[in-house]
Amino acid sequence: MRLPYAPNTPPSEGDNTTETTEIYSRIAARRHPRPLIPLDLSLLHSPPVADGWNSFLGAIRTRTVVDLGLLELAVCRVAVLNGAVYEWNAHAPLALKGGVTPAELQACRSLPCTAEGDENVSALESSVLTARQRAVLRYTDQMTRTIKVEEAVFAQLQREGFTDREIVELTTGIAGYNCVSRFLVALDVGENNDREMKSVEELMAALK
């Protein structure tokens, strides 16, 4: 990591120790029973930012109604597009647990970006992904690479039956994890930038 990690426990002295201790506690409560992760210990150099981050991402992860498999597929696609190894390795197993098949996850990893050529859209349309997954992938590609989303791509989400709430949650999830990936890569959180993303085979073996 380009910075030292913050301590695993809050400081016992200094300014705003009570507030900082409460922030540590809120983040630890969301991670429980796991310990704080390298991302947390990077953000905790600025406790107020870490607190807001925890609240925002926590809401996306635990208080949304959009299908978990589709949300995690979008997060994994963001990781692929942005070269965020840490993000892929953390979220690809969650996609599998959320019902994404190994073949679908591999397609998410290997398909070329649909925001960069009609031939790439054709490759997506002939892939193993379901119609709803294809709609999510195209939306993710455009949000991540071109920022502006074409009307046809947005309309496809609605045709596939996503509700207004689900679209808002999917959009905030994609935007939020673009933020996460940029933070991870810029600071090399977890020392993953020079590593390869885990293969789908590796991920499947680890889940057994």
Express each pLDDT in 118-131 by its tens digit. 999 999 999 999 99
For the chain, which residues make up each domain, given as ranges? 17-62, 66-207
Query: Mean pLDDT, to the nearest integer, of 20-47?
Result: 96
The candidate with the shortest Cα–Cα distance to 87, out of 182, 199, 194, is 182
pLDDT at site 36: 97
Percent of the chain with pLDDT over 90: 95
Which pLDDT does position 165 carry in this prediction? 98
Q: What is the pLDDT of residues 50-107, one digit of tens each?
A: 999 999 999 999 999 999 999 999 999 999 999 999 999 999 999 999 999 999 999 9
- Amino acid identity of 175? A
Judged against a pLDDT cut of 90, whether residue 208 lies above it is answered with no
- pLDDT of 116 strictly over 90: yes
Q: Radius of gyration of the chain from Cα atoms?
A: 18
Of the options 3.30.830.10, 2.70.98.60, 3.40.50.300, 1.20.1290.10, the CATH number for the domain spanning 66-207:
1.20.1290.10
Place of tokens 């808002």: 168
Mean pLDDT over 115-144 rounds to 97
Name the pLDDT band for 201 (thresholds 50, 70, 90): very high
If you average pLDDT over every residue of the chain, what do you get? 96
Does this model's pTM top 0.75? My answer is yes
**What is the pLDDT, as a whole number, of residue 12?**
79
Burial call 60-72: b when 16+ CB within 10 Å, e when fewer: bbeebebbbbbbb
Q: What percent of the chain has pLDDT over 70?
A: 100
Neighbours of 138 (CB within 10 A): 25
Residue 15 in this model has a pLDDT that exceeds 80 = no
